[in-house]
């Protein structure tokens, strides 16, 4: 099995770094714009022609539009804060998964000598379900699981027993009913990397996987492919 390390790269920095101060709610621009508008409106009223006074409804309409601009600015600032809070919570959660086993949705797997555990979920029962692995040269190998009922179908890929060379393979499942169920792989989280798109987990057997691809926490042993 591949050696597992508990290194979390940059997780703390993402939570306690300088991102929060930059994202603090800032409505100064909207407030300044509103003050400028009120000043200009007051000047218009003071200097209007007494014989042709301005329509008061126009002032009300303009002030209402200005209030809407301010509200939109506040909503945009709150949305930014919520997004940053969500990112920080994801980073903290991802950091806590180091050393634990998770299940992630994948379209590719990293094969070495260790057994890779996986699962597909069928919507319909099948007379034959197969797993197809395709290497970087485009060579595909299919491994049949036999007939399977509807629901989750667990499997294991033993690269040594199957004679598969180490490397990265595309993986997909297919049934004789024409279904292509999504493939999931269970593996230990070795470390977490923080990126601009959020936490990225290094999962044994799956490689780098975005946090949002996690489908399940805490796995048990699954049945063998062979």
- The two beta strands, 7-9 and 183-195, are parallel
Domain ranges in the chain are 7-96, 101-217
pTM score of the predicted model: 0.57
Q: How sure is the predictor about 174, in pLDDT bands with cuts at 50, 70 and 90?
A: very high
Q: What is the pLDDT of residues 112-126, one digit of tens each?
A: 999 999 999 999 999
For residue 103, the tally of other CB atoms under 10 A from its CB is 21
Backbone φ and ψ for 176, nearest 5 degrees, come out as -75, 0
Q: How far apart are CA 104 and CA 111, in angstroms?
A: 16
Q: How far apart are CA 123 and CA 38, in angstroms?
A: 63
Whether 24 shows a pLDDT value over 90: the answer reads no
- Both tokens of 186, joined, read 């269970």
Helix (H) or strand (E) holding 200: strand 198-203
CATH 3.90.45.10 fits 101-217, yes or no: no
């Amino acid at each position: 099995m591949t050696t597992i390390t508990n290194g979390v790269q940059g997780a703390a920095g993402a939570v306690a770094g300088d991102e929060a101060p930059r994202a603090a709610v800032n409505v100064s621009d909207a407030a300044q714009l509103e003050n400028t508008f009120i000043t200009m409106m007051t000047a218009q009223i003071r200097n209007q022609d007494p014989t042709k006074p301005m329509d008061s409804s126009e002032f009300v309409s303009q002030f209402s539009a200005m209030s809407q601009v301010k509200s939109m600015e506040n909503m945009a600032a709150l949305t930014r804060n919520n997004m940053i809070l969500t990112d920080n919570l994801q980073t903290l959660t991802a950091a806590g998964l180091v050393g634990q086993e998770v299940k992630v949705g994948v379209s590719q797997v990293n094969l070495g000598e260790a057994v890779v555990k996986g699962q597909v979920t069928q919507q319909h029962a099948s007379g034959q379900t197969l797993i197809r692995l395709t290497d970087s040269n485009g060579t595909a190998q299919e491994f049949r699981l036999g007939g399977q009922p509807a629901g989750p179908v667990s499997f294991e890929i033993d690269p040594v027993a199957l004679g598969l060379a180490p490397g990265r393979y595309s993986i997909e499942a297919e049934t004789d009913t024409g279904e292509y169920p999504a493939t999931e792989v269970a593996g230990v989280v070795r470390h977490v990397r923080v990126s601009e798109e959020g936490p990225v987990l290094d999962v044994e057997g799956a490689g780098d996987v975005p946090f949002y691809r996690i489908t399940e926490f805490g796995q048990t042993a699954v049945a063998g492919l062979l």
